[in-house]
Amino acid sequence: MNSDYTATVFNSQLRNLLHVLVLKDKTSRHTILLEDQRYTLGRDPRNNIPIKSKKVSRIHGTILRREDAQHKTFSYWLLDGDLMGNRSTNGIFINDKRCLVQELKHGDVITLGMEVEGEYHILSDVNQLESLREEDFDSHQGGGVANTKRSDENKIHNSIDYDRENTPTIISSSDTLFISEPTVESFEENSSNASSADASEVQSDELSRLASFPEWSPNPIIEIDWSGRVTYLNPSATTKFPTLRLNETNSSHPVLEGLVQGIKKNSASSNLFVREITIKNQVFEQYIHYLSEQKLVRCYIFDFTGRRITATQVNESEQRYKAVLNQIQEGIFLVDAGSKKVLEANSALANLLGYGLDDLHCLSLNDVLFLSPGEVEQKIDFWLNNPNSGSETLSYRRKNGFLLELESSHSTISYGDQKIVSFTVHPVSQSLGTETIIQEQGLFDLETNLPNSQLFLEQLNTAIANSYRLEQLLCVIFVELELPKNLKEKINNKIQLTLLEGFSKRLRSSLRGGDTVARWQGNQFVCLLPQVRSIRDIGKVCHRILETLKPPFFLEHQKIHIKTSMGIAVYDEENNTTETILANAQKALKKSQELGSNNYKFIQSNIQAEIERLLKLEKLLNSALEKKELSLHYQPRIRVENKQITGVEAFLRWNHPELGCMYPGQFLPLAEETGLIMDIGEWVLETACFQHKIWLQNNVIKQPISINISGYQFQQPNFTNVIANILEQTDLPPHFLELEITEETIAQELDLAEKTISELKQMGVKICLDDFGKGMSALGYLKKFQIDTIKIDKDIVQNLENNSQDLAIVSAIIGVGKNFNIAVVAEGIESKEQLALLLELGCEEIQGNLLTEPLKMGDTTNFLANPTQSLTLS
């Protein structure tokens, strides 16, 4: 038989196989058909495959489709964490072996976060898929592992036996992908002589390379040299443009036509261009990057057929632009000339400086450049006034404290009133991994390679200036390594130096991106945490440091246990200079040592108490739902004219045996920070809707129930699906549900708010704009969104007696409500005087403790059954 024909049939069969992932936990089992280029899976509901398990990370893993253009086949690979290098907490295990990246084979058994189990199947028949799906279950809708959106399954799949031992393994290089015979099944199975640290480093490097391969891209990527010869085509380009071939020149092809000539003409002003090209009836957007040193042109092409430029397309264009930036090998970042904040950066810069992309967005130019704030200001002024000033060599700070000399060119962008400086950087040395460590300046400790006290003081001065200007928290942490006296006498200087190195590495790994750790003196280290969001974050870092340093060190066959003390000072009105914050952190360290080792102490006793309270609260809140400590109270709203109930609002309470009854303001902000708000929010919706359905069935009430929605909940991409599922589960008609959303929530993402509110209104759900009158854009929202009810902000209502401006605001709101045919409710009424003023202003609906406090379910039922007997409005 013809061998070419046999290979064609074999490849066709491989191409038509079904790749299936089965995920199951205690509450659910789902069978997922894999067809797309990429899937993310984890606890965050925005993932393609969301998983409800506390032991699973927000983005626990990524599944990538790998194309083999030569054999026209594909496979799926599973990576631990996301494509930015962030790994999961509890890891991914395939066939009981932990892995960072591995090609999935038929029969693989996968464990995520020690709790969720998976199986990978490669099937030849749709009937086999349906057989797997027959075993799926979900003990509570929306819980456990959520299924993904299914693609079209009406395809023909040929039969083939997939032999795992004889399946070729894909080997990678920096430029090409090719097929070889099997050599290694996973990166864990390296030579037994290699240390675990080496193996981990190999895995990490391989993971970074795999994540950046253009072969993964579903969009065409093409590279040509200065003569127009094609030097690279990714599989998508080969499929989309079959007439383009490697090592051939095809200057008449629309993708390549006029490309080199155009760049030669314009390369002096920029090295990144965008153009639109048309091939027959298809329209493409082509992003062109000119690599001047290599004399190469790289093109990234996106299908733009049939699209109109709308707000959505602008957003998509931004995403494509970011995708292009992240493929470019030179470091690129944008800085706001006024605030000095890093607005945008690409992966190449993150790799050069040792940060994650998200960490870079938290930095300013003062953090990145090895210059004083005054020198940075002078540089910005010079670049703004001299946009074509050429390139210069500047010293950049890496995350590990080392300095890296980079060739840096700059251009300026005007966006309205905003001035932006664009940086393009690459190492002075052609070796991308070469660091210029400026130790001769006496800024680094030679034993630990950490910054020394001199460099730390410079960075602290900069951080204090930024904290003052931006009104942000920062803190200084002194950490002292303590060795028992008997141990000091037993270990030699070499072991002590090795211990110091290991200690400093662990300490550095405990900090966030952008934080600094330096060796102060002897066994004393100092950490700087700039741009801290909350004191709770400081507490979490302190706990992480203690936990990281707790395990023993193994040095020359000796097991060494150390003790650690920490002293912390937080920037505030009293600790606002370098001298005072350092002195107070040292005092706190001494207090910590007096209390005993392995603890931390804040110089500010109120902060110490608050952090301990918050961390304890977080631990207790984690189990509140499971222990059934949450409950709902209900407060009716009343039409004053006839004392008729117009609705009822659900209020959340946390009844803890030790802490007592807690109100939402005492724990919901913490729930939002930790992500628990999603589980709590869904519980509130389910419980309130279920109870309201019971009231409706018993004719207790015929008006809607109002439920407050947090900003974090509202901004989830699947929020409307969650609402639809809950309404279906509880059998509550949509028009009996009213969702209360604040102005602040809407303002955070207007486009998303418009889309979400429109979808909810189409379902029949009512929308209430809560805390109305607090923001500046409130009136505009009434015109833009389909609002049913507005609730006047409580603070305005409670100031009516003493503030004529608030009286005028309320009067205007009531008038606007009548003109827009929107119900207006005054809530938070505490006194008869407030009620009298509201009635005088013409307010028709009211709510507040003057009428009745939020009641337990049983008391609410009694109230709703006899409202006129329970009310006293006079």
Same domain, 712 and 825: yes
Same domain, 716 and 567: no
Asked whether residue 443 is assigned to any structural domain, the reply reads no
Asked whether residue 591 is assigned to any structural domain, the reply reads yes
CB 826 within 8 A of CB 797: yes
The confidence score (pLDDT) of residue 319 equals 62
CA distance 510 to 497: 20
Asked whether residue 212 is assigned to any structural domain, the reply reads no
CB 793 within 8 A of CB 811: no
Decide which of 616, 645, 676 is a domain's last residue: 616
Annotate 234-282 with DSSP letters as a single string: -HHHHHH-TT--TT-B-TTSTTTTTHHHHHHHHTTT-SEEEEEEEETTE
pTM of structure: 0.45
The confidence score (pLDDT) of residue 113 equals 79
Same domain, 693 and 780: yes
Same domain, 192 and 272: no
Asked whether residue 872 is assigned to any structural domain, the reply reads no
Asked whether residue 419 is assigned to any structural domain, the reply reads yes
Asked whether residue 829 is assigned to any structural domain, the reply reads yes
Q: Among 552, 550, 570, 548, which Cα is nearest to 561's?
A: 552
Same domain, 17 and 55: yes
Same domain, 544 and 628: no
CB 518 within 8 A of CB 526: yes
DSSP secondary-structure letter at 444? B
Residue 378: CATH number of its domain:
3.30.450.20
Question: The tokens of 851 are what?
Answer: 């009428």
Same domain, 419 and 463: no
CA distance 117 to 106: 15
Q: How many CB atoms lie within 10 A of CB 659?
A: 15
Annotate 310-342 with DSSP letters as a single string: -HHHHHHHHHHHHHHHHH-SSEEEEEETTT-BE
- CB proximity list for 840: less than 8 A, separation 6 or greater: none
CA distance 831 to 251: 81
The confidence score (pLDDT) of residue 267 equals 64
Same domain, 293 and 244: yes
Same domain, 527 and 627: no
Same domain, 480 and 384: no
Same domain, 71 and 186: yes
Same domain, 643 and 757: yes
Residue 545: CATH number of its domain:
3.30.70.270
CB 840 within 8 A of CB 810: no
Asked whether residue 370 is assigned to any structural domain, the reply reads yes
In the chain the first and final C-alpha atoms are separated, in Å, by: 99
Asked whether residue 444 is assigned to any structural domain, the reply reads no
Decide which of 302, 327, 352 is a domain's last residue: 327
Residue 632: CATH number of its domain:
3.20.20.450
Q: Among 692, 694, 671, which Cα is nearest to 625's?
A: 671
Decide which of 598, 616, 634 is a domain's last residue: 616
Average pLDDT per consecutive 10 residues, the chain (874 residues; last block may be shorter)? 40 65 88 87 87 84 76 80 74 83 88 87 82 78 48 30 31 28 29 37 42 63 89 84 88 88 72 81 84 81 64 55 63 88 86 83 86 82 79 83 80 75 77 41 74 87 84 91 71 79 88 85 91 84 90 81 90 84 91 85 83 80 87 93 91 90 86 82 95 94 94 88 93 96 86 91 94 71 87 88 84 89 92 90 91 92 80 59
Beta bridge partners of 404: 396
How many structural domains are present in the chain?
5
3-state SS, residue 167: coil
Q: Which domain holds residue 99?
A: 3-200
Beta bridge partners of 42: 50
CA distance 88 to 49: 15
Could you tell me the CA-to-CA distances from 153 to 20, 32, 748 in Å, in that order?
12, 12, 39
The confidence score (pLDDT) of residue 326 equals 58
Question: The tokens of 14 are what?
Answer: 């491989």
Q: How many CB atoms lie within 10 A of CB 425?
A: 24
- Residue that the structure tokens 């304890």 belong to: 616
Could you tell me the CA-to-CA distances from 640 to 183, 489, 675, 842, 850 in Å, in that order?
80, 83, 40, 10, 13
The confidence score (pLDDT) of residue 269 equals 57
- CB proximity list for 20: less than 8 A, separation 6 or greater: 31, 32, 33, 34, 120, 121, 122, 123, 129, 132
